[in-house]
C-alpha cells in the first residue's frame, strides 16, 4: 500500500544549554525520507542564546522559549504547541536515521489499533561515531515488545528515547510528570502501556549518543532510588479502582525499587523475601529510601 504523505508529524526537540549537537539533530529530521514534518525546538530557559539562530537556518523549524522547568516540562510544552497528527521526541544530542519516520508512520497508518511504534537504537559516542552497539530487545524478546505490554514491561523495561512515534491522541490522556527529575520516561511509558497497544520494529531507526557524562541525568543513579513510590502515586491519579490491579502494580514496583536500591548500594544491600513484599508491598514502596535488614 502506498504511503499517504498528507499526515503531519511533529518532532519535538527540547534543548538546554547544549548547542554542540542541536544542528545535527535538526538536520537528521530535515533529511527524513518522509517530508511532511514540523520541527519544534523547545529552549528550556537556556542561559546561552544559541537555539533560535540555529532554528532560523531551517524552513520548517519553529523556535519556542520557556522558563526552565526540566525535560518533562519542555516535552509537555512542545505537545501543547504541536499541530501534527503524530508526535516524535528527539533529544538535542541524538539523531534520527533517514527512514525512521517513514517506516513508523506506515505501521500506524496500516494498524489502526496501534498507538505507538518504537524500535531499537544504534549507539554513537560523543563524536558521533557508531560504536557497533545497539540498545533494544534481545532477539528472543523482540516479540514481547509489541502488543499490550503493561504487565510484561512494568518494572522491567521501557521505550528508549529517541525511538517512538505516537498518535497525538495518546497525549489527550497522558502527560510527562514535571516533578520527576529523573525517570520521567519510565513513569510515562509505564502509564502509557496501561492504556495503549504498541508495536516494536526490531531494527535501529535512531542514534543514541552515549557521552558517559556523570552530569547526564540518566547516569545519576542515586536520584532513581525511591522513585517507584512516585510512579505508584501516578497510577493512583490515573483513576485505577480495582484493588487487585493496584496490589499487583505495587508488588512489581516494590520489587523493582528494592532491586535498584541494592544495585546502587552494593555494600549495604537489604535482603527482603518475596513473601514479605507480597504481604505488604505498599509498606516497602513507602519506605524505599529507608530500608534496613
Q: How far apart are CA 221 and CA 181, in angstroms?
A: 12
- Bridge partner residues of 10 (DSSP): 38, 87
Q: What is the pTM of this model?
A: 0.93
Within the chain, residue ranges assigned H as helices are 22-30, 51-55, 71-81, 100-110, 150-153, 170-173, 184-195, 227-237, 243-264, 274-279, 281-286
Tens digits of pLDDT across the chain (293 residues): 557 778 999 999 999 999 999 999 999 999 999 999 999 999 999 999 999 999 999 999 999 999 999 999 999 999 999 999 999 999 999 999 999 999 999 999 999 999 999 999 999 999 999 999 999 998 899 999 999 999 999 999 999 989 999 999 999 999 999 999 899 999 999 999 999 999 999 999 999 999 765 444 445 667 788 899 999 999 999 999 999 999 999 999 999 999 988 888 888 888 999 999 999 999 999 998 888 76
Mode of pairing for the β-strands spanning 116-124 and 61-66 = unpaired
CA distances from 97 to 101, 119, 149, 151 (A): 9, 12, 26, 30
The CATH superfamily of 9-215 is Spore Coat Polysaccharide Biosynthesis Protein SpsA; Chain A (3.90.550.10)
Domain ranges of the chain: 9-215, 221-290
Amino acid at each position: 500500500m502506498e504511503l499517504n504523505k498528507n499526515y503531519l508529524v511533529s518532532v519535538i526537540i527540547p534543548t538546554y544549554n547544549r548547542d554542540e549537537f542541536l544542528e545535527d539533530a535538526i538536520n537528521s529530521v530535515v533529511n527524513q525520507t518522509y517530508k511532511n514534518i514540523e520541527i519544534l525546538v523547545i529552549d528550556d530557559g537556556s542561559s546561552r542564546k544559541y537555539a533560535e539562530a540555529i532554528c532560523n537556518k531551517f524552513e520548517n523549524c519553529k523556535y519556542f522559549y520557556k522558563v526552565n522547568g526540566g525535560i518533562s516540562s519542555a516535552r509537555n510544552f512542545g505537545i501543547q504547541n504541536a499541530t501534527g497528527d503524530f508526535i516524535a521526541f528527539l533529544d538535542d544530542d541524538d539523531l534520527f536515521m533517514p527512514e525512521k519516520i517513514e517506516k513508523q508512520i506506515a505501521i500506524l497508518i496500516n494498524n489502526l489499533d496501534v498507538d505507538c511504534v518504537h524500535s531499537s537504537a544504534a549507539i554513537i559516542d560523543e563524536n558521533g561515531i557508531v560504536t557497533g552497539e545497539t540498545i533494544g530487545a534481545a532477539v528472543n524478546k523482540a516479540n514481547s515488545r509489541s502488543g499490550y505490554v503493561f504487565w510484561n514491561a512494568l518494572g522491567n523495561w521501557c521505550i528508549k528515547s529517541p525511538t517512538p512515534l505516537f498518535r497525538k491522541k495518546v497525549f489527550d490522556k497522558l502527560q510527562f510528570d514535571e516533578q520527576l527529575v529523573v525517570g520521567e520516561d519510565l513513569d510515562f511509558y509505564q502509564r502509557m502501556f496501561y492504556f495503549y497497544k504498541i508495536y516494536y520494529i526490531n531494527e535501529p531507526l535512531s542514534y543514541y549518543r552515549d557521552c558517559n557524562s556523570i552530569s547526564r541525568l540518566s547516569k545519576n543513579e542515586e536520584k532513581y532510588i525511591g522513585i517507584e513510590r512516585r510512579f505508584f502515586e501516578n497510577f493512583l491519579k490515573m483513576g485505577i479502582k480495582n484493588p487487585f490491579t493496584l496490589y499487583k502494580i505495587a508488588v512489581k514496583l516494590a520489587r523493582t525499587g528494592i532491586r535498584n536500591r541494592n544495585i546502587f548500594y552494593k555494600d549495604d544491600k537489604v535482603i527482603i523475601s518475596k513473601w514479605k513484599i507480597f504481604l505488604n508491598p505498599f509498606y516497602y514502596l513507602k519506605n524505599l529510601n529507608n530500608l534496613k535488614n
